[in-house]
Structures are given as structure tokens and as C-alpha cells.
A = this chain, B = another copy of it.
């Protein structure tokens, strides 16, 4: 077998695994949008069977042999071409995959599909006790998986889990970034609170018919560039974005009939994820060049559209007349400035996904600290709720009123996504840094946003981020597109400038 045909075989195998994973993703999308209530058990069987087959495919002996052979021939000193980058990335994945048995992958898939079902009920019933037992099982399983994945590496158990979402990230780096961020954020939030100034919160929090909010969200998603010929926008209890094929990206949002921000910012956030997926190389679907780089990079794309664009003064210049058209009763008297201020209503609260940009990262730091301890074994599932409530009291100064507004608010742990939360704040840091560069590069970007012209910004992200897929790593993407290493100072400065002006600090 020639190198060429070995490479073809390897790619075909990876793309067949992607056929299986994307089919399982479609079943999971369906589960969270359409599936009848009694169908959960069999759905878990289907998903775990497909994920198990994908794992078999990605670890079969012939594939391993070819990939190893191709990998050994790469000259690490030479500059790498497309083929060798693909081989290196697939080889990297293989080193993870072979540490897990197919049985373990199936068990994990089944347990986490069930976990989400139990969490959903527990959240509806506002009862953490109902969720505890399966959460314990999930934590045990993830500890076991972490232990396997860390073998032959320098990583801790939790780091080995993070690696799936943010390749190469270390706890040391994250701890450092987070502590550099935390101090100035806390100071800034205190200043805002001390200022005594407040936006008209009632502009966002008032009766707004969901049918019209739905229209607004769709219009905004189209305007910023989400392609509905290659995607959909639906509703669910916990918004997300999933990709079922190279031309099939599904974003999901939710609406609060008493709040403008939930649906609007939720949609912009998911559309940001969606546009990243739609900007990947479709020919390489299922291969590293056609896959997202890391969850931090992914989140940077969602947060940039949600925050740097969606909570900007320019954006509110553009959208205010549209709001007045759609909701004449509610917004006839409102000004763009008032709405812009209301979109940046900074105050400590209980719910992460509805938090403002400044306090948001404090929510993440709490989760990061808790899950790190949970996985490393210094915290027990029975202690999670007390720890959660105590940290919200200490860090944000708020008291958890209901379990669904506290420890039950996020789907992640029920889905086994330990190591995922820190990527949200990493994404926020990257978003601020990228947007700073975009403003430097694109002439009169703010002006263009205020005119509803978003295409140059989208194209800039296509060029600097999307087109690379996993061919560059997160660090390389940040450095190439911003000329700098990742630093918290862009986010801090961006927030300080905005809030100083809005709150007259």
C-alpha cells in the first residue's frame, strides 16, 4: 500500500466515523426538540450504539497501523503541509481514543443521555436530590475516563478531560488567566454598583409576545449571516448549536415572554457558533481541516456576536428602529441610547446564561473550581450544592432561592461535560482580543455595524479563524489573527471602557 492510498484509507475511515457521530448528533437534536416523552430509553440505546460503532471505527487495527506508519514518516522539523497536519491531528485523536474501550464509550454515551433526561426532570421539579444519584455515577465514570486518558501524559485527571474541549490547555494556565481576570472584574463590578447609576431595566423586562420575538431573532440571525439554507433555528429549554452535516447546522434558542435579552442574545450567541460551523471547509467534514479548533475558539465566535456586536452602541443604533416596528407598544418612546444601556445592565445574579458580560466570568470561575475538585476527588457530589450556594454568596453576593436557579441550572454535568466550563471564559477572552483586531483591520467597523452591514466582520472571522479548522491550534489562531498571545487585558479594557462611559465611573 502506498502512502497515498494509506492516507485515503485513513481519511475515509475518519469520515465514516463522522457519518456515525453526526447521525447520533441528529438523534440527540431530535431528543431535545421533538422526541415523545416515553422514547428516552431506546434513544439512549441508539445513540450509544452509534457512538460505540464510531469508536470501533476510529480504533480499528488497520486504521491504527496505517496511521502509525504515516505518522512515523513525518519529518517534525520540516514545515507541515495539509496532509501531515491531518495525519498529526488524527494521530493525536487516536492516542485518546485507544485509551478508552468501546464498551466504556457506549456506557458513557448511554449514561449521559439518561443523565440529561434525569436532569431535565429534576430541574423542572426543582429537586437536586432527584439528580444526585445519576450525577454520582457520571462523576465516577468521568474520573475513570480521566484516569485512563491521563496515562502516559503529564496531565492531571481533570486536565485530561479539559483536553477534549481545549486541546493542550493546562490547569496552571487557566488558573493564571482566571486570577488575572478576576481581580479587575470584581473591582469593576464594585465600581458599577457604587456608581448608583442604572439603566431602565424595564425596557428589557416587560411583556413581549414570543411570536414577535421569534421573528426578531430570525431577522437578526439572517442579518448577521447565519445561512438558513444550511441550517435551522429552533427552540429548546437549554440553547445549543449542533452540526448534523457539512450543510446542516442547527441552532436552538429559547424565549422569555417577559424578557427581550433571553431570546435575542441567545440567538446571536448560537448564530455565532453556527456561522463558525458554516464557515468550516465542507469538503473536509469529519477531518481535522473541516472541524472546529477548540471550544474556546468556538465560544469566541458566539460571544463576539452576542457581546462585542450585540451589546454595542452601534448595534443598538441599527436595531432600535426595527424594535419600534415590531413592538410599537413597547418601544415607541425608547431611544437607542437607553436600549444600549439596558443591554448592558450589570448586576450580580443567579443565572449564568442570562448574566451580563462582567459578572458572567465569575459564574464560570465558580463552576470551574467546583468541577475541578469534583473530578480530582476533593469534593463529593453531596457537598456540591452547599459549595455552590456558598460560592454564589461569597463571589457574587447573591442567595440561591431555588435549586433550578442554582446547582440545577446547567445541563453540562448531566451530559458528562466536565472540563467544558472554562472554555466559556477562554472564549470571552479570545472574543475581546479578536474583536480588537477586527476593529483595527476593518475600516469604520462600528459605523458599518450601525448600518446593519455585518459581512466584512463575518468575512474577517472566516479568513482568520473559520477556514483553518483544526489545522492551526487555538494559540496559533489567536497569535496569527491578533499578533499577540492570549491575554485577559483586552476583555478587561473593553469592559472598562464601555462601563465607565455608560455608568459614568
Contact = CB atoms under 8 A, between A and B. Distances in A.
A26 B228 CA distance: 21
Interface stretch (A32-40, A64-72, A86-94, A177-185): A32-40
Interface in A229-285: 229-232, 244-248, 285
A245 B113 CA distance: 16
A294 B43 CA distance: 25
Interface stretch (A44-52, A131-139, A205-213, A386-394): A44-52
Interface in A1-57: 16, 19-20, 22-24, 26-27, 30, 34-39, 41-43, 45-46, 49-50, 53
Nearest to A22: B46
Interface in A183-230: 228-230
B232 A42 contact: no
Nearest to A231: B36
B39 A19 contact: no
B245 A42 contact: yes
Contacts of A229: 36-38
A113 to B, nearest CB: 13
A34 B245 contact: no
Interface string A63-102: 0000000000000000000000000000000000000000
Contacts of A26: 26-27, 30, 46
A36 B232 contact: yes
A121 to B, nearest CB: 14
B23 A247 contact: no
Contacts of A23: 23-24, 27, 46, 50
A230 B41 CA distance: 12
B36 A228 contact: yes
A268 B157 CA distance: 56
Nearest to A48: B19
Given A30-B30, A35-B248, A42 B285 contact: yes
Q: Name the prevailing secondary structure of the A interface residues.
A: helix
Contacts of A36: 228-232, 247-248
A16 B56 CA distance: 15
A38 B232 CA distance: 11
B39 A248 contact: yes
Contacts of A245: 39, 42-43, 46
Contacts of A244: 39
Q: Which of A22, A38, A41 has the most C-beta atoms of chain B within 10 angstroms of its own C-beta?
A: A38
Contact of A19 (B16, B30, B46): B46
Contacts of A20: 49
Contact of A248 (B42, B50, B231, B247): B42
A17 to B, nearest CB: 11
A351 to B, nearest CB: 29
A211 to B, nearest CB: 12
Contacts of A50: 19, 23
Nearest to A245: B42
A39 B37 CA distance: 28
Contact of A247 (B24, B38, B285): B38
A320 to B, nearest CB: 31
A465 B129 CA distance: 44
Contacts of A45: 19
Given A39-B245, A244-B39, A19 B49 contact: yes
Nearest to A43: B245
Contacts of A53: 53
A42 B246 contact: yes
A19 B20 CA distance: 12
Contacts of A24: 23
A452 to B, nearest CB: 24
A229 B42 CA distance: 14
A244 B53 CA distance: 19
Q: Which 9 A-B pairs have the closest CB atoms?
A: A42-B245, A39-B248, A38-B247, A19-B49, A39-B247, A38-B229, A38-B230, A23-B46, A37-B229
11 contacts: A16-B49, A19-B46, A23-B24, A23-B27, A26-B26, A26-B27, A34-B232, A36-B229, A38-B248, A39-B247, A42-B245
